[in-house]
């Protein structure tokens, strides 16, 4: 007998193939079965492209009649860049639909399930709910919290420091950790840093050595308008927008700096106050569902204090920088062991530590 869990796992594997390509849409996978046979498979490959259910039903063809459809996310019932999936499901003659988790989009939010019920289709909801929710944690964060999913990332020494001294660029991690960090950059919608990082490291903020399929938004938090127009990141505007998050007061105080940055290719976002939560929410307008908050310490501390961090990712290098080094977090303000879902992984000589701060499942 077919296991709902086993078939949903198949759909989840398919859904994950869209990672890094579907935002601001969710990743979705679908499987059509007859008895113990899979007769159709599909996944959402890119924003604006066919939905997983439609692809799976097209592959199933006539065998979709009386079949069971497994879908990681509630089928849509509205018209966006594609038509409503629920109508295609009904038209194909599917008898049963098994859903991983309800769609939090207010245009759906249970309406797709109700539509299928009203058309006489049996709907089972919540199979592998935790995995289905976690797969689309960025999408859920945008819909439920009106801001992107934020991962706070830092490379630190064994004694919790990020640089040997203030203002000194201090590479810490080895090739394996660097490769991993760039692979993650290839999947997220945006990378964010503070102005101190721009001044000290002058980073490109691109995904190097990794295949990226969409433009990458780069976000510079700069309430003192210190970013120079010669910053290397401004030479990469062809790869995606460079957005400078600042305040209206800063633009008023330094209008020439703002104008110079705009002429260099930056987009200036002048907010009323220095509020990390408001800044993150503003990024949704750029179709940003997840942000990699790369530093430095001032930005990380502000985001942590504002409660907008969803995940912590630390690359720990086997070095000690000593008391003159720059602390990542003040003593007593941050405890990794207090976080949920802690995970560790060796990357060459470095160790990757990850943990969840806020979760939906």
63 vs 54: CA distance, rounded Å: 14
**Segment 279-295, tens digit of pLDDT:** 999 999 999 999 999 98
**Segment 131-159, tens digit of pLDDT:** 999 999 999 999 999 999 999 999 999 99
Query: Residue 213 has what pLDDT?
Result: 76
**CA 249-251-252 angle, 5° bins:** 60
Q: Is the pLDDT of residue 310 over 80?
A: yes
Average pLDDT value for residue range 255-271: 97
Average pLDDT value for residue range 216-227: 97
Query: Residue 295 has what pLDDT?
Result: 83
The region, left, alpha or beta by phi > 0 then psi within -120 to 50, assigned to residue 341 is left
Average pLDDT value for residue range 56-81: 93
**Segment 340-354, tens digit of pLDDT:** 889 999 999 999 999
Q: Is the pLDDT of residue 336 over 90?
A: no
- Model confidence at 359, pLDDT cuts 50, 70, 90, reads low
Average pLDDT value for residue range 235-261: 97
Beta pairing class for 350-356 and 29-34: unpaired
10 Å Cβ neighbour count for 168? Answer: 11
166 vs 161: CA distance, rounded Å: 11
Query: Residue 155 has what pLDDT?
Result: 97
CA distance readout (Å), 62 to 33, 52, 71, 256, 318:
12, 17, 19, 65, 59
Find the catalytic residue in 53, 196, 239, 294.
53
- Model confidence at 222, pLDDT cuts 50, 70, 90, reads very high
Distance of CA 68 to the CA centre of its chain: 31
Query: Residue 360 has what pLDDT?
Result: 58
Query: Residue 245 has what pLDDT?
Result: 98
**Segment 98-130, tens digit of pLDDT:** 999 999 999 999 999 999 999 999 999 999 999
10 Å Cβ neighbour count for 69? Answer: 30
Average pLDDT value for residue range 4-27: 96
Is 62 considered catalytic here? no
pTM: 0.93
The mean of the pLDDT values for the chain is 94
Q: Is the pLDDT of residue 361 over 70?
A: no
Average pLDDT value for residue range 223-251: 96
Query: Residue 1 has what pLDDT?
Result: 60
Query: Residue 81 has what pLDDT?
Result: 66
- Model confidence at 93, pLDDT cuts 50, 70, 90, reads very high
């Amino acid at each position: 007998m077919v296991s709902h869990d086993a078939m949903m796992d198949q759909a989840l594997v398919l859904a994950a193939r869209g990672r890094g390509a579907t935002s601001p849409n969710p990743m979705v996978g679908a499987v059509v079965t007859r008895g113990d046979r899979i007769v159709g498979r599909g996944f959402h490959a890119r924003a604006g492209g066919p939905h997983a259910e439609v692809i799976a039903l097209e592959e199933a063809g006539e065998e979709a009649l009386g079949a069971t459809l497994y879908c990681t996310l509630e089928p849509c019932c509205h018209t966006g860049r594609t038509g409503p999936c629920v109508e295609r499901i009904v038209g194909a003659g599917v008898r049963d639909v098994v859903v991983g988790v309800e769609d939090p989009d207010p245009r759906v939010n249970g309406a797709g399930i109700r539509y299928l019920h009203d058309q006489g289709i049996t709907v089972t909801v919540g199979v592998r709910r935790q995995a289905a929710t976690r797969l689309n944690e960025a999408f859920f964060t945008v819909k439920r919290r009106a801001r992107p999913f934020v991962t706070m990332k830092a490379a630190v020494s064994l004694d919790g420091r990020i640089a040997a001294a203030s203002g000194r660029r201090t590479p810490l991690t080895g090739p394996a950790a660097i490769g991993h960090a760039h692979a993650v950059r290839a999947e997220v919608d945006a990378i964010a840093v503070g102005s101190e990082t721009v001044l000290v490291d002058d980073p490109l903020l691109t995904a190097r050595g990794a295949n990226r399929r969409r433009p990458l938004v780069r976000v510079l938090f700069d309430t003192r308008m210190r970013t120079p127009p010669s910053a290397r990141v401004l030479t990469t505007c062809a790869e995606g927008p460079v957005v400078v998050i600042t305040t209206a007061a800063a633009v008023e105080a330094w209008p020439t700096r703002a104008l110079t940055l705009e002429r260099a290719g930056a987009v200036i976002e002048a907010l009323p106050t220095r509020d990390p939560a408001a800044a993150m929410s503003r990024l949704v307008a750029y179709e940003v569902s997840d942000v990699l908050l790369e530093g430095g310490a001032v930005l990380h501390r502000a985001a942590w204090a504002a409660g907008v961090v969803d995940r912590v990712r630390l690359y720990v290098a086997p070095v000690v920088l000593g008391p003159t080094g720059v602390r990542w977090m003040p003593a007593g303000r941050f405890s990794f062991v207090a976080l949920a879902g802690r995970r560790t992984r060796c990357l060459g000589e470095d160790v990757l530590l990850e943990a969840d701060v806020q979760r939906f499942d």
